């Protein structure tokens, strides 16, 4: 990827001396390995050139500048996109969240990303691949039994009784630790397996029953509310990002159509206030982002005005979209599902 890194600089007509280029690349690699949730959101904002910045934005900018010197805005936007690309292509721990955030920031095409790499395509591919790999059945066989032989040689060669006891205890603890690690690894795989099974069963029972978590028939939920209500139901039983690979099919089977687009603001306005409060509890309101969770930013703003429609203009402004922007019900449902996972998983 290092060769591509230089070509990306050339593509946006930026030039750096070799020393600064090395420093920038090292900073990108370091941030990709250690990035946290707030920094991921800041990277997405920068990569999509959003005017909405956060406290984490300046911290991310400082980390990427590192020893490479001052960084203009255009270079910061490029390095943010490069960092996200590295996270995705190298399979860093944050890859699932990064792929989901890029998808929600793209807003199903309502926002454009001007970068020399296909960031949205990479995120879509990573989301699908990770959805499949994270749900592979782990082996439930215990690992090989470690040696239970306690090496007492060092203790036997020691004259002091206190030191001898200490060395024996240390040797015995080492053996017990190996057994504990073997058992812990097995328990982690078993928990992962049980979580996958629970997710699959819960989703299938939900679909088979044809009722929302609140007990309402799918067909009785209005067209405007369906994408949000059904997506949240599925997000609640999803055990980890980036979610199930078959989520689109499940939503369609539940009756959500990929047909006539609807106005996003009208769909949010149609949701009951009590439902909004459960979808975005007070404790999670600070997590809503106009860039990476734009639907929930709208929910947050509607809650602030107690359900009135005065929130729409401000929401459209901070999200950088038209207030009358439209998406199909299926697009809205997938977006809501992803945002729910970002906020609650």
Q: Please check the confidence at residue 1 and state whether its pLDDT lies above 90.
A: no
Write phi, then psi, for 19 (nearest 5 degrees). Answer: -65, -45
Q: Cis peptide leading into 260, omega within 30 of 0? A: no
Record the pTM: 0.86
Tens of pLDDT, residues 290-344: 999 999 999 999 999 998 999 999 999 999 999 999 999 999 999 999 999 999 9
CB 335 within 8 A of CB 295: yes
Q: What is the pLDDT of residues 173-218, one digit of tens each?
A: 877 888 788 778 778 777 777 777 888 899 999 999 999 999 999 9
Question: Mean pLDDT over residues 51-61, rounded?
Answer: 93
Concatenate the DSSP letters of all residues of 182-224 into one string. Answer: HHHHHHHHHHHHHHHHHHHHHHHHHHHHTB-TTS-BGGGS-TT
Calpha distance 341→1 (Å, rounded): 30
Count of other CB atoms within 10 angstroms of residue 226: 24
**Which tens digits make up the pLDDT trace of 199-208?**
889 999 999 9
Contacts of 186 (CB under 8 A, 6+ apart): 140, 142, 143
Q: Euclidean distance between the first and final Cα of the chain, in Å? A: 30
- The residue length of the chain stands at 345
Give the number of other Cβ atoms within 10 Å of residue 61's Cβ.
18
Angle at which helices 55-65 and 73-89 cross, to 10°? 80
pLDDT at residue 163 tops 80: no
Q: What is the mean pLDDT of residues 260-276?
A: 97
Give CA–CA dist 256/252, Å, rounded.
Answer: 5
Return the pLDDT at 66: 84
The pLDDT score that the predictor gives to residue 184 is: 81
| Cα–Cα distance measured from residue 163 to residue 126, given in angstroms and rounded to the nearest whole number | 54
- Report the chain's mean pLDDT, rounded to a whole number: 91
| CA 324 vs CA 105, 249, 261, 271, 290: distances in Å | 18, 27, 11, 17, 16
Helix (H) or strand (E) holding 52: none
pLDDT tens-digit series, residues 96-145: 999 999 999 999 999 999 999 999 999 999 999 999 887 676 676 777 77
Residue 156's pLDDT band (cuts 50, 70, 90): low
List, in sequence order, the alpha helices (H) in 210-293. Answer: 226-236, 247-253, 264-269, 273-279
Tell me, what's the pLDDT at 324? 97
Percentages of the chain per state (helix, strand, coil), in multiples of 5: 65, 0, 35
């Amino acid at each position: 990827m290092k060769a591509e890194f230089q070509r990306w600089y050339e593509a946006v007509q930026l030039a750096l001396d070799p020393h600064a280029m090395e420093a920038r690349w090292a900073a990108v690699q370091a941030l990709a390995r250690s990035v946290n949730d707030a920094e991921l959101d800041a990277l997405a904002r920068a990569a999509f050139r959003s005017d909405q910045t956060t406290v984490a934005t300046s911290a991310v900018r400082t980390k990427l500048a590192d020893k490479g010197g001052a960084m203009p805005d255009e270079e910061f936007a490029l390095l943010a996109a490069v960092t996200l690309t590295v996270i995705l292509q190298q399979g860093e721990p944050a890859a699932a969240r990064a792929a989901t955030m890029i998808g929600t920031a793209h807003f199903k095409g309502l926002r454009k990303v001007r970068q020399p790499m296909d960031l949205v395509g990479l995120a879509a591919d990573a989301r699908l691949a990770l959805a499949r790999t994270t749900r592979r059945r782990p082996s439930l066989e215990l690992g090989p039994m470690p040696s239970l032989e306690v090496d007492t040689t060092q203790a036997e060669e020691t004259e002091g009784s206190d030191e001898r006891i200490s060395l024996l205890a240390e040797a015995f603890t080492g053996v017990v630790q190996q057994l504990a690690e073997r058992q812990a690894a097995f328990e982690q795989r078993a928990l992962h397996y049980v979580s996958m099974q629970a997710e699959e069963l819960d989703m299938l029972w939900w679909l088979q029953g044809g009722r929302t978590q609140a007990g309402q028939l799918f067909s009785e939920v209005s067209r405007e509310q369906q994408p949000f209500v059904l997506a949240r139901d599925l997000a609640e039983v999803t055990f980890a990002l980036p979610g199930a690979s078959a989520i689109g099919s499940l939503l369609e089977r539940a009756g959500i159509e990929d047909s006539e687009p609807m106005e996003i603001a009208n769909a949010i306005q149609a949701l009951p206030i009590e439902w909004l409060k459960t979808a975005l509890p007070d404790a999670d309101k600070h997590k809503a982002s106009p860039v990476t969770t734009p639907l929930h930013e709208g929910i947050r703003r509607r809650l602030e005005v107690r359900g009135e429609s005065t929130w729409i203009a401000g929401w459209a402004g901070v999200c950088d979209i038209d207030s009358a922007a439209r998406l199909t019900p299926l697009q809205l449902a997938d977006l809501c599902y992803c945002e729910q996972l970002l906020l609650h998983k």
